[in-house]
Chains A and B, each alone.
Chain A
Amino acid sequence: EAGVTQFPSHSVIEKGQTVTLRCDPISGHDNLYWYRRVMGKEIKFLLHFVKESKQDESGMPNNRFLAERTGGTYSTLKVQPAELEDSGVYFCASSQHQGAYNSPLHFGNGTRLTVT
């Protein structure tokens, strides 16, 4: 089966610009997560979709970040306007089961965002 795919793999933008990251989860996975790793720090949870609904967005840093998952398939994460501190690697992950502590998350390769 195809894994989680993310696009683009790299993005370099200037402060104040807008960037949209895309994630295609594994087919059939209702649960989709966004995580971020800022350089040298731990991987932090951003939000969780179950199908098209936002289950938990407690990790979203501020209202410059907007995530959507239309139709419960792929998801986009838009940063508008981007700030320098938004630089990092953005990971998307999916899993089949929601309330299952024994179900691993399958991650994409990440999008490396650099804001200059």
Chain B
Amino acid sequence: AQKITQTQPGMFVQEKEAVTLDCTYDTSDPSYGLFWYKQPSSGEMIFLIYQGSYDQQNATEGRYSLNFQKARKSANLVISASQLGDSAMYFCAMRDSGGSNYKLTFGKGTLLTVNP
């Protein structure tokens, strides 16, 4: 079974608008962490934001926030006030212990394009 699902292969957004990138996950482990990474065209993987399974509040990091809905098993990334430099691939990932030994498991990614 796929552990991380990103249903949007590509997304477009106008500069200065907000955009939501979807991510759903599957785990039976009560302890897990959810991560978002950004991969610009230059290739590096940049850690953006983390949400723990026991966290009561949604994580925020500057213009990034994570809309964590535990019952729905979703962890959508919200980017506010999009900038041209936000154009990149975005990967949702999860770490849990159940059978994965805390390996980081990735979704297929969403290619975000910010239009001027």
Contact = CB atoms under 8 A, between A and B. Distances in A.
Give the contact-size bracket for chain B.
20 to 34
Interface string B33-57: 1010100001111110010110000
Interface in B69-95: 91, 95
A102 B52 contact: yes
User: Which one of B35, B95, B96, B97 has the highest number of Cβ atoms from chain A below 10 Å of its Cβ?
Assistant: B95
A45 B45 contact: no
A74 interface: no
B51 to A, nearest CB: 9
Interface of A: 9, 33, 35, 41-45, 48, 55-56, 89, 91, 93, 98-110, 112
A107 B37 contact: yes
Interface string B88-108: 000100011100011111111
A71 B40 CA distance: 33
A19 B90 CA distance: 29
Given A45-B103, A102-B50, A109 B33 contact: no
Contacts of A104: 33, 35, 47, 50
Contacts of B103: 33, 45, 48, 56
Contact of B95 (A41, A42, A101): A101
B108 A100 contact: no
Given A48-B103, A107-B45, A112-B43, A101 B96 contact: yes
B104 A45 contact: yes
Nearest to A111: B43
B64 interface: no
A102 B50 CA distance: 8
A98 B95 CA distance: 11
B43 A110 contact: yes
